[in-house]
Amino acid sequence: MRVTLKSILLAMASLVVLIFLSACTGKSEDAPKFPYPKAPLAISQPVQKAQYLVEHYWDKYISAAESGQIEGSQIDSAEWAGVFKNYFALLSGLYSEGREELCNREIRRAVGSADSLYLKGSKSLLLKIVHYSELFLYDPNSPLLNEELYIPVVEELLASQSLEEESKGTFRFQMEQLLVNRKGAKAADIKYKYCVGGDPWHLREGSLYGIEADYTIIFFNNPDCPACAQMLKELSQAPLVQRMVEEGSLALLALYVDQDLDSWRANLKDYPKEWIYARDDSQSINAGRIYILRAIPSLYLLDKEKRVLLKDAPRAQVVLEWLFSITAKR
């Protein structure tokens, strides 16, 4: 299910109500320990409200931590997870609304403030940011996966005055991977062999750059992967995908990256004949030389010039929403 700004704002409102009721009744054991922000009633538009909450999300906590009124240890791990899930969901919603610069600025400000707190002896917030940003923004199985939001986190952590240099090795490695085929860059070309005329034994050589279409979806898959089968079903049965493929404005490259050729040949029957059913014959992708696949399935959406519009999309619905937005502008 798609996470929307409206659903996140409703969840945030429920937390504020819970805090208020706990204060009124004196029963604080179930109340959140984290001091959530509350948007002024005058702000009613969802995007503006989300922006206010993101800009002030950490204010009360930082103020309380600096004065010694709160310690990170007072907040249990389950609540911390909710705190960051809400925060990153708000950021993801704003990012999807075109507020990339705002998101980048506020992430950097949050990490910088946490770094300053760490130097003052309050270490919890920075350590939680390290853990939960990777969990929600970088884990390939996270519904909030967004490498563009994770990049400023990593850049700020690499510049941190608190973290030891030897502890930054992981972040340097992650940054190298994050910059491979980054959103907005031209995707690396892929040489492959594809089936001709529905015959798994009749193969021709092809390349990503040789595909002529306004948009291209690369569907990295594995025949024995249940999640791949589900993604195949969602994409192949989507009327918009069917229409765009038929009219030639969308090409769909189903690319197998492993070596079990018997399974690959057997699965050809499950794929639409209009798709490019191919395999990485050179195994260059699996070797990690031109694409970084941290999980299978993985989806990329490219424009006509093969620039990356979506990288490693976690769900078919994310790509479909992009295609809907693109076609709506025509």
Q: What is the pLDDT of residue 222?
A: 92
Confidence of residue 29 (pLDDT cuts 50, 70, 90): low
pLDDT given at position 9: 58
Among residues 115, 98, 107, which one has the least CA distance to residue 159?
115
Domain coordinates in residue numbering, the chain: 5-178, 191-328
Which residues neighbour 13 within 8 Å (Cβ) at sequence distance 6 or greater?
Answer: none
Q: Is the pLDDT of residue 18 over 50?
A: no
pLDDT at 197: 87
Residue 12 — very low, low, confident or very high, per pLDDT cuts 50/70/90? Answer: low
Contact predicate 137/149, CB 8 Å: yes
Pairwise CA distance, residues 329 & 309, whole Å: 16
What is the reported pLDDT for 329? 72
Whole-number average pLDDT of the chain: 90
pLDDT at 288: 73
Higher pLDDT, 20 or 290: 290
With contact defined as beta carbons under 8 Å apart, do 302 and 289 qualify? no
Band of pLDDT at residue 5, cut at 50, 70 and 90: low
Which pLDDT tens digit goes with each residue over 99-123?
A: 999 999 999 999 999 999 999 999 9
CA distance 30 to 15: 11
Tell me what pLDDT residue 92 has: 93
d(CA 238, CA 235): 5
Q: For 151-199, how does the pLDDT look when each residue is reduced to its tens digit (9 = 90+)? A: 999 999 999 999 999 899 999 999 999 999 999 999 999 999 999 988 9
51 HSE (CA, 13 A, CB side): 15
Q: What is d(CA 262, CA 161) in angstroms, rounded to the nearest whole number?
A: 53
Instruction: Please give the pLDDT value at position 286.
Output: 83
Q: What percent of the chain has pLDDT over 70?
A: 90
pLDDT > 90: what percent of the chain? 76
pLDDT attached to residue 19: 43
Three-state secondary structure readout of the chain: CCCCHHHHHHHHHHHHHHHHHHHHHCCCCCCCCCCCCCCCCCCCCHHHHHHHHHHCCCHHHHHHHHCCCCCHHHCCHHHHHHHHHHHHHHHHHHHHCCCHHHHHHHHHHHHHHHHHHHHCCCCHHHHHHHHHHHHHHHCCCCCCCCHHHHHHHHHHHHCCCCCCHHHHHHHHHHHHHHCCCCCCCECCCCEEEEEECCEEEEEEEEEHHHCCCCEEEEEEECCCCHHHHHHHHHHHCCHHHHHHHHHCCEEEEEEECCCCHHHHHHHHHHCCCCCEEEECCCCCCCCCCCCCCCCCCEEEEECCCCEEEEEEECCHHHHHHHHHHHHHCC
Over 70: is that where the pLDDT of 14 sits? Answer: no
Tokens of 113: 């403030």
Residues 176 and 169: their CA atoms lie apart, in Å, by: 11
CATH 3.40.30.10 assigned to 191-328:
yes
The answer on pLDDT for 247 being more than 90 is yes
Query: Which residue, among 310, 314, 311, has the nearest Cα to 323 in the 3D structure?
Result: 310
